[in-house]
Amino acid sequence: MFLGVVLSCLIPPGAKKRNTTWRNIDLARCFGYREVSTEAREIGWDLTSGEFLGIVVFAVAAGAILAVLFKNPLIIVAGGLGGYYLPRVLIKNYRKRHRMSLMMSIPDFGRMLIARLIDHHSIVRAMELTQDDIHGPMKVTIEEFVKDVGVGLGVRPALDNMRAKLGFRKFNTLAETLAIAHAEGYSGEALKAMEKAVEAIENDVRAIEALEITARKKKRELACVVAASWAFPAVLSFMNTGNVNIYLNTIPGKVLIFFYLVSTLFVLIKGEEYLSLNLEEL
């Protein structure tokens, strides 16, 4: 019954996607749907209000269930905090995976493009042929380049847009070499310079993959430490305190468990941030 009340307060009954009720407005204001959806769109994720509601309700409902099981209403607050931060954590992880996938696809794109340039000596034609053979997030970037050139933007501005969207410094070298070759001709020296730029990007990607393996290992170790730390309240709850469970039946114990839970969420979120590679700096 308690869980039903919580869910009924969060989900507007019979609300359609385009209909805005006061509950939708409160949800956007309290949990920051507009801000989160804007960040999601920037990385290609069209986060709907229904999906956002599902994530928030999942976290709040989990907190409500734990509050009922442990007879501790303070845990509902932790569920609310989880509902606020969970969408943001998911978007950060999605952005990181998208960024990693994009960077890993650049070397293959570069090699394909150089092979087409050797045959056709036209960057536009080479891009058109490459977009048919490549898959993944890089394909969208190539299609946007072809569209920019098709509407008369020009090769140099289209390459500048491509550089801005990728935001990878090593790719800037390749784009600049492509722009120079387009203006002065696709000589053997220009093609060799492109190959060196692609090799530099590939070396960076390999180094990032190695660091990512190390980071995943450290994250597992952190998760194990956090899980082990919960053994202390579990063991201490069996202490003889007049046949009363100190963590379930006393106010200080309930407050301690609440702070323990909030600290766990904080450690996991900040640990993910500190141990993850900051691909935006590349």
pLDDT in tens, 8-59: 444 443 433 444 444 444 555 667 778 888 888 877 778 887 888 888 888 8
At which residue do the structure tokens 């998760």 appear? Answer: 223
Q: CA-CA distance, 237 to 80, in Å (whole number)?
A: 26
pLDDT of residue 16: 39
pTM of the complete model beyond 0.75: no
75-120 and 137-150 are packed helices; what angle lies between their axes, rounded to 10 degrees? 60
pLDDT in tens, 142-180: 989 999 988 888 889 999 998 888 888 888 888 888 888
Contact 33, 210 (CB under 8 A): no
Determine how many CB atoms are found less than 10 A away from the CB of residue 55.
Answer: 20
More confident residue, 276 or 149: 149
Determine how many CB atoms are found less than 10 A away from the CB of residue 197.
Answer: 21
pLDDT in tens, 190-247: 888 889 988 888 888 888 888 888 888 888 888 888 888 777 777 666 665 566 767 6
CA atoms within 13 A on the CB side of 12: 17
| Ranges of each domain in the chain | 99-206
Question: Mean pLDDT in the chain?
Answer: 78
Q: How deeply is 231 buried, as exposed, middle or buried, from its count of CB atoms within 10 A (0-12, 13-18, 19+)?
A: exposed
Phi, psi of 279 (to 5 degrees): -70, -15
pLDDT of residue 39: 80
Q: CA-CA distance, 92 to 277, in Å (whole number)?
A: 12
pLDDT in tens, 100-122: 888 888 888 889 999 888 888 88
pLDDT of residue 79: 86
Q: CA-CA distance, 182 to 128, in Å (whole number)?
A: 15
